[in-house]
């Protein structure tokens, strides 16, 4: 039987507190000791990726204690309960089933009278069949012409994940001749967002996917209305251009105004929905269903590794353990995610939601206030760009910010140029290798302004190339990491009560039902 | 005479420490007291903007102490020294003259035998004349055809600011019939960046601007080489397609391979170079020189406000004072920048550099270690998107993160749609008003998971519309804020020694001159 306990009630956690400051990262990462750590502190992931944690503030003793923490916190048992369909999301009384969209880690999960794995797989197959017809010109616009663009209308989890993965694979797909349609995204209720996107879209040949689990997301319905207006003004048949991705119980589900509807359900939180119909429809239309299937295979393979019960052989679990150690023992409130891959330009923005919305909680899963820090701030930009931007503070600022690098040996396009004796890809890889050592070891200098204290921990996930499988493995790794972090903090990582108050007050403003500061702020905006 | 002293040596700073916790934000922002604060705690900015700090943890007593701090730290005197041409950037022995690119706040500044204001103005006029010839079809490609696209090749300050402002004004320019050319940006040494951008560009009708102050930025030279290869492969005349923006002393300055060269100099740091030729060339080509001139006017007007010696009537100075209060007295290490404007989607990324590279220092301007926290982590995404992403943590996480909102009464396009009785723009504005009150006041609830503690401070800059002037005023406000923060922390905000070590180690990797961890990391990448 699983026991859900607060982090600070666990003996193994209290033991960890005594290890603070015991690893001199600059020393252990220097010389042969550093080389040995890089060889030793690495774990295989799915799709040929490797998780290297050599430059983290850990040693064999701390790793042993982290493994004990994983056992005492019953991380594997909790994950097992989750993938077997237990009601993990207590506040909303829901199962948490996003892993079932890409595989079956445990036993059959029945809910609402259906086998949920079969349901998700069925949606994937429906989307695949639909996408193939679109690509083959069997489903066309009102004039019998092929569609060339797909536009996702969604916000939050219906936007960030699908957008990040589209950008991650767009150039790979072009290089591999499988870019079937261009994708665009409309998310913000700011009218300049839909207007700007629609200016660049050939409306007559565009398919729009309206994505809202509840079918009531105000931003999304508003933008749907924007698009319908534009289609009508262009003399186009709206129903030939609109798809829905929603839950079967939503008002959008039985609406004949859509060309087709594909389904997810309440067991999949928005920020974990990239592998469901939410990401599937737009990505299968853009890249073909085979590419999306490869992406899901990478996720499923990584999920299986996350189910490994040895914490030191489970990359997502170990990553979570080290990050909680950094957050709660070492006291670092921020983590930077730094992919050395331009294709991953919006991956940090997606993980920002996945992490901060999941674990930014002050109460445990039973609604009791916790006495320790939970969810961290996560931000990041691609390298080497970030080196020319905020790395100054990472290297020489007064706060230590743990770093998570991502890098690949090969570029996606494999087109390259040699300048000063090396290719661009070699320069990119040399930079990330250099940064990890610079952050860990620092450098003495007579001039204090040129001194680097070092002692700044980092990890890296390295792969051969950012393929669909690698992309899936990366995403599943982080989804599972955030889940394990939530288990350690004993919070419910699957609700988001913190988004409600703002919605309620915004409705009051729109209804002119305001007083005090709210009325004054509204009047500043002329409302 | 100005005295440069550490923050913790100032009497007025020590007095501020006693005010920690004295403002119950939830209480003072409730009821009539909150309304009164919104009316009272606001300052006019340039271009019709307003800086509202009602929801910050300040009251009249704290504001008085902050004003005393500004006086004791001699913020106005330091700014005066700076704009009159003193060598403020001590470590690099340089003046700091970026404000001169948009106006003359003080006396004539002579350097290198020239009047620097006249020099910058001259470059602006040269660019204007060039851009007009391009737009008129007097400067064309090798076939006498007009250019339709401009591509900036630069990284860090040569990329983020110009890119953020281009995106900020692209749709405004389209709506106002002054979008002369589309702009694209290549920055990353990852070869997938230039390949991806070039796939979407009509090479024969594209002008490329290579931007590097030193003329030696490896990423930029590498990407220049990439582009030249592509032009040659397409059978185009490279010299008809390439411009340079650099310093007069750089190897790029006297290179006949460029169609034209425009200049900035060592007195302008990359992250403060948007108002120099670095931003001017691409933005004047994209929008016309008149639009860029309007952007500079907004900056100049805001600069004049920043020179006001009353701290409580100087928005940039007050913003800096409050943020240092939050960082050093209240102990908040992170600030979120949240523009409710999709056009400002990359404005936070630019300000992230401008802030973190400027003030992420552990030594004061004389190279002595400081005993207090300096530069904060800055991150952000546009609202309402962020509400559906990381706001959960902002509302209910265990750490308090001060917030900086930006909003406008009107959209840029003024196209809109009415859904459920309100326009999209009204929904956008209602949301930002609601968020400020939700963050400050919170909400009690029987269910602790639905409880909001409030007490989370925010400010907002509100304007009528995101015009070129408003855009300039916003940018100058933040540039000057970061400068004043640096004065308070007594750091040199204008050098970036922290970027050097990584460069040195990367060169060693490329030269195969590695050992220890560096060698092992390099070998993971197959180098």
Residue B39 and residue A520: Cβ atoms within 8 Å? Answer: yes
* Residue B59, phi-psi category: left (phi > 0), alpha (psi -120 to 50), beta (remainder): beta
The better pLDDT of the pair A255, A61 is held by A61
Q: Is pLDDT at A414 greater than 90 in this prediction?
A: no
Question: What per-residue confidence (pLDDT) applies to A65?
Answer: 98
Q: Is the preceding omega at residue A488 within 30 degrees of 0, hence cis?
A: no
Question: What per-residue confidence (pLDDT) applies to A454?
Answer: 97
Question: What per-residue confidence (pLDDT) applies to A400?
Answer: 98
Q: Which of A254, A313, A427, A503 is catalytic?
A: A503
Q: Count the neighbouring beta carbons within 10 Å of the beta carbon of residue A310.
A: 12
Give the A:B interface size as CB pairs under 8 Å: 522
Q: Is pLDDT at A1 greater than 90 in this prediction?
A: no
Nearest-angstrom CA–CA distance, A42 and A48: 13
Q: Averaged over A286-292, what is the pLDDT?
A: 98
Domain spanning B23-59+312-488: CATH 3.30.70.120: no
Q: Count the neighbouring beta carbons within 10 Å of the beta carbon of residue A499.
A: 18
Nearest-angstrom CA–CA distance, A413 and A259: 35
DSSP secondary structure letters along B434-482 = HHHHHHHH-B--SSGGG-B-----EEEEEES---HHHHHHHHHHHHHHH
Question: What per-residue confidence (pLDDT) applies to B255?
Answer: 87
Residues with Cβ within 8 Å of A284's Cβ and at least 6 positions away in sequence, in order, are A127, A128, A131, A291, A292
Nearest-angstrom CA–CA distance, A460 and A405: 4
* B 30-69 → A contacts, CB under 8 A: 30-35, 37-39, 50, 52, 54-55
Q: CATH 3.40.50.10490 spans which residues of chain A?
A: 21-57+297-487, 108-294
Question: Superfamily for A108-294?
Answer: Glucose-6-phosphate isomerase like protein; domain 1 (3.40.50.10490)
* Residue A242 dihedral angles phi and psi, to the nearest 5°: -120, 130
Could you give the angle at the alpha carbon of B287 between the alpha carbons of B282 and B288, nearest 5°? 95
- How far from each other are the two terminal CA atoms of chain B, in whole angstroms? 55
Nearest to B245, CA basis, from B259, B260, B263, B228:
B263
CB A66 within 8 A of CB A318: yes
Question: What per-residue confidence (pLDDT) applies to B177?
Answer: 97
Residue from B7, B185, B191, B394 whose CB has the most chain A CBs within 10 Å, to mutate: B191
Nearest-angstrom CA–CA distance, A210 and A479: 24
CB B412 within 8 A of CB B466: yes
Residue from B218, B502, B510, B527 whose CB has the most chain A CBs within 10 Å, to mutate: B502
Nearest-angstrom CA–CA distance, B30 and A92: 31
Nearest to B241, CA basis, from B209, B207, B211:
B207
Average pLDDT of every residue of chain A: 97
Q: Alpha-carbon dihedral of residues A154, A158, A159, A160, nearest 10 degrees?
A: 160
Q: CATH 3.40.50.10490 spans which residues of chain B?
A: 23-59+312-488, 111-294
Question: Superfamily for A21-57+297-487?
Answer: Glucose-6-phosphate isomerase like protein; domain 1 (3.40.50.10490)
Tokens of A332: 């670092």
What is the side-by-side order of every strand in the sheet holding B260-264?
Answer: B182-186, B149-153, B206-211, B242-247, B260-264
Min distance B392 CA to chain A CA atoms (Å):
5
ipTM for the predicted complex: 0.97
Confidence of residue A66 (pLDDT cuts 50, 70, 90): very high
Nearest-angstrom CA–CA distance, B187 and A428: 12
Q: Averaged over A177-183, what is the pLDDT?
A: 98
Mean pLDDT in consecutive groups of 10 residues from the start of chain B, 527 residues: 96 96 97 98 98 98 98 98 97 97 98 96 98 98 97 97 98 97 97 95 98 93 96 96 96 92 97 98 98 98 98 98 98 98 98 98 96 98 96 98 98 92 96 98 94 97 98 98 98 96 96 97 95
Known catalytic residue: B388? yes
Q: Using one digit for the tens of pLDDT, what is the confidence trace for A344-364?
A: 999 999 999 999 999 999 999
* A 215-234 → B contacts, CB under 8 A: 218-219, 221-223, 225-226, 229
Nearest residue, CB atoms, B221 vs list A32, A412, A419: A419
* A 349-378 → B contacts, CB under 8 A: 349, 352-353, 356-357, 359-363, 367-370, 372-375, 377
Question: What per-residue confidence (pLDDT) applies to B115?
Answer: 98
Nearest-angstrom CA–CA distance, B440 and B433: 11
Confidence of residue A255 (pLDDT cuts 50, 70, 90): confident
Residue of A nearest to B370 (CA): A398
Q: Averaged over A58-69, what is the pLDDT?
A: 98
Residues with Cβ within 8 Å of B238's Cβ and at least 6 positions away in sequence, in order, are B228, B231, B232, B257
Known catalytic residue: A450? no
Tokens 């991705």 belong to residue? A245
Question: What per-residue confidence (pLDDT) applies to A196?
Answer: 95
For chain A, state the CA radius of gyration: 24
Residue from A90, A164, A192, A453 whose CB has the most chain B CBs within 10 Å, to mutate: A192
Partner A contacted by B270 (CB < 8 A) = yes
Decide: helix, strand or coil at residue A241.
coil
Known catalytic residue: A503? yes
Give Cα separations from B106 to A175, B97, B492, B525 (angstroms): 55, 11, 21, 53
Q: Is pLDDT at A107 greater than 90 in this prediction?
A: yes
Residue A157 and residue B229: Cβ atoms within 8 Å? Answer: no
Q: Averaged over A217-224, what is the pLDDT?
A: 94
Q: Averaged over A16-44, what is the pLDDT?
A: 97
- 3-class SS shares of chain B: helix, strand, coil, % to 5: 50, 15, 35
* Residue A140 dihedral angles phi and psi, to the nearest 5°: -135, 180
Q: What does the buried/exposed string (b/e) look like for B338-369 if buried means 16 or more CB atoms within 10 Å of the residue's CB?
A: bbbbbbbbbbbbbbbbbbbbbbbbbbbbebee
Tokens of B173: 């320019």
Question: What per-residue confidence (pLDDT) applies to B291?
Answer: 98
Residue A424 and residue B189: Cβ atoms within 8 Å? Answer: yes
Q: CATH top-level class for B111-294?
A: alpha beta
Decide: helix, strand or coil at residue A487.
helix
Question: What per-residue confidence (pLDDT) applies to A254?
Answer: 85
Q: Is the dihedral of CA B270, B275, B276, B278 positive or negative?
A: positive
Question: What per-residue confidence (pLDDT) applies to B289?
Answer: 98
pTM for the whole structure: 0.98
Nearest-angstrom CA–CA distance, B463 and A293: 47
Decide: helix, strand or coil at residue B189.
coil
Nearest-angstrom CA–CA distance, A215 and A221: 8
Question: What per-residue confidence (pLDDT) applies to B81?
Answer: 98
Confidence of residue A192 (pLDDT cuts 50, 70, 90): very high
Q: Which of A357, A381, A469, A479 is catalytic?
A: A357
Tokens of A165: 């993965």
Partner A contacted by B396 (CB < 8 A) = yes
CB A127 within 8 A of CB A281: yes
Residue A360 and residue B333: Cβ atoms within 8 Å? Answer: no
Residue of B nearest to A429 (CA): B525
Question: What per-residue confidence (pLDDT) applies to B1?
Answer: 81
Bridge-based pairing of strands A149-153 and A182-186 is: parallel
Question: What per-residue confidence (pLDDT) applies to A256?
Answer: 87
Residue B462 and residue A525: Cβ atoms within 8 Å? Answer: yes
Partner B contacted by A513 (CB < 8 A) = no
CB B52 within 8 A of CB B458: no
Partner A contacted by B295 (CB < 8 A) = no
* Residue A35 dihedral angles phi and psi, to the nearest 5°: -60, -45
Strand partners, A336: A379, A403
């Amino acid at each position: 039987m699983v026991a859900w306990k607060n982090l600070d009630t666990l003996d193994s956690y209290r033991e960890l507190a005594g290890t603070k400051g015991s690893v001199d990262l600059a020393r252990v990462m220097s010389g042969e000791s550093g080389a040995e750590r890089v060889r030793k502190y690495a774990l295989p992931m799915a799709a040929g990726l490797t998780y290297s944690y050599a430059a983290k503030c850990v040693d064999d003793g701390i790793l042993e204690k982290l493994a004990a923490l994983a056992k005492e916190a019953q991380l594997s048992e909790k994950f097992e309960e989750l993938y077997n369909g237990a009601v993990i999301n207590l506040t909303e009384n829901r199962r948490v089933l996003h892993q079932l969209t890409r595989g079956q880690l445990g036993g059959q999960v029945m809910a609402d009278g259906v086998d949920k794995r079969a349901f998700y797989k069925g949606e994937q197959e429906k989307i695949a069949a639909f996408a193939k017809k679109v690509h083959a010109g069997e489903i066309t616009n009102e004039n019998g012409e092929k569609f060339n663009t797909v536009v996702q209308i969604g916000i939050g989890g219906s936007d960030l994940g699908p957008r990040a993965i589209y950008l991650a694979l767009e150039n790979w797909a072009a290089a591999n001749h499988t870019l079937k349609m261009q994708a665009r995204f409309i998310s913000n209720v700011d009218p300049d967002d839909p207007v700007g996107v629609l200016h660049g879209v050939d409306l007559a040949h565009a398919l729009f996917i309206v994505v809202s689990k509840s079918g009531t997301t105000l931003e999304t319905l508003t933008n749907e209305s924007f698009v319908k207006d534009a289609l009508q003004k262009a003399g186009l048949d709206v129903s030939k251009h609109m798809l829905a991705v929603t839950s079967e119980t939503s008002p959008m589900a039985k609406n004949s105004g859509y060309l087709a509807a594909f389904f997810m359900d309440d067991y999949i939180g928005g920020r974990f929905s990239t592998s469901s119909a939410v990401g599937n429809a737009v990505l299968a239309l853009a890249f073909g269903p085979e590419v999306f299937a490869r992406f899901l295979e990478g996720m499923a393979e990584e999920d299986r590794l996350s189910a490994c019960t040895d914490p030191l052989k489970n990359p997502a679990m170990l990553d979570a353990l080290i990050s909680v150690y950094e957050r709660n023992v070492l006291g670092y409130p921020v983590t930077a995610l730094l992919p050395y891959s331009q294709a991953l330009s919006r991956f940090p923005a997606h993980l920002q939601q996945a992490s901060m919305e999941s674990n930014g909680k002050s109460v445990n899963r039973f609604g009791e206030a916790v006495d320790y820090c939970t969810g961290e701030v996560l931000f990041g930009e691609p390298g080497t760009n970030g080196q020319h931007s905020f790395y100054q503070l990472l290297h020489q600022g007064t706060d230590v910010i743990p770093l998570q690098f991502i890098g690949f040996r090969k570029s996606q396009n494999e087109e390259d140029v040699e300048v000063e004796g090396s290719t661009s890809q070699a320069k990119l890889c040399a930079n990330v290798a250099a940064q990890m050592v610079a952050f860990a070891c620092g450098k003495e200098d007579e001039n204090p302004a040129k001194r680097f204290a070092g002692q700044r921990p980092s990890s890296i996930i390295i792969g051969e190339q950012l393929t669909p499988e690698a992309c899936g493995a990366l995403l599943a790794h982080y989804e599972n990491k955030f889940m394990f972090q939530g288990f350690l903090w004993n919070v419910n990582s699957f609700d988001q009560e913190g988004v409600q108050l703002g919605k309620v007050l915004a409705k009051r403003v729109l209804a002119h039902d305001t007083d005090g500061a709210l009325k004054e702020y509204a009047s500043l905006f002329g409302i």
